């Protein structure tokens, strides 16, 4: 996104993820906001709730993205896994200009900020 102005956001590729899972209300809200900024919005989120797993990375299990809609995938892994799968596989032809994670269902306060997947 280097050198682009806010007026050019409509051309940006935006990747959304979270730690509350693909069906989380916060992700629906974030998607609505992102789609107001760009037509190129992708969602790759955990298949299940993964709160507190922001630093976790799956090393000894295969990660398989499952397409659940247009530009929408779920991964049976952590928030980090989801972004890595998106950047290195799903969107490898053109990587995202912006990655947003959230909106969190709960508060991130104190020590929570060190391990949350949505700070």
- pLDDT at residue number 63: 93
32, pLDDT greater than 90: yes
pLDDT for residue 109 is more than 90: no
111: confidence class by pLDDT, cuts 50, 70, 90:
low
Per-residue pLDDT tens over the stretch 45-104: 999 887 765 667 788 899 999 999 999 999 999 999 999 999 999 999 999 999 999 887
Burial string for 94-113 (b: 16+ CB within 10 Å, else e) reads: eebbebbbbbbbeebeeebe
Q: Which CATH class is domain 10-108?
A: alpha beta
Please state the domain extents for the chain. 10-108
- pLDDT value at position 53? 58
Report the pLDDT value the prediction gives residue 59, as an integer from 0 to 100.
Answer: 84
Q: What is the pLDDT of residue 54?
A: 61
Pairing of strands 72-75, 66-69: antiparallel
pTM score, whole prediction: 0.83
């Amino acid at each position: 996104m280097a050198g682009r102005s806010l007026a050019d956001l409509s051309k940006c590729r935006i990747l959304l993820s979270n730690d509350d899972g693909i069906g989380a209300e916060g992700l629906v809200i974030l998607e609505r906001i992102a789609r107001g900024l760009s037509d190129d919005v992708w969602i790759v989120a955990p298949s299940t709730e993964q709160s507190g797993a922001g630093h976790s990375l799956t090393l000894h299990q295969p990660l398989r993205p499952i397409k659940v809609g247009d530009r929408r995938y779920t991964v049976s892994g952590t928030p980090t896994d989801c972004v890595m799968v998106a950047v290195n596989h799903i969107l490898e032809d053109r990587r995202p200009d912006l990655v947003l994670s959230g909106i969190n269902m709960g508060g991130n306060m104190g020590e929570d900020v060190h391990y949350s997947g949505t700070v």
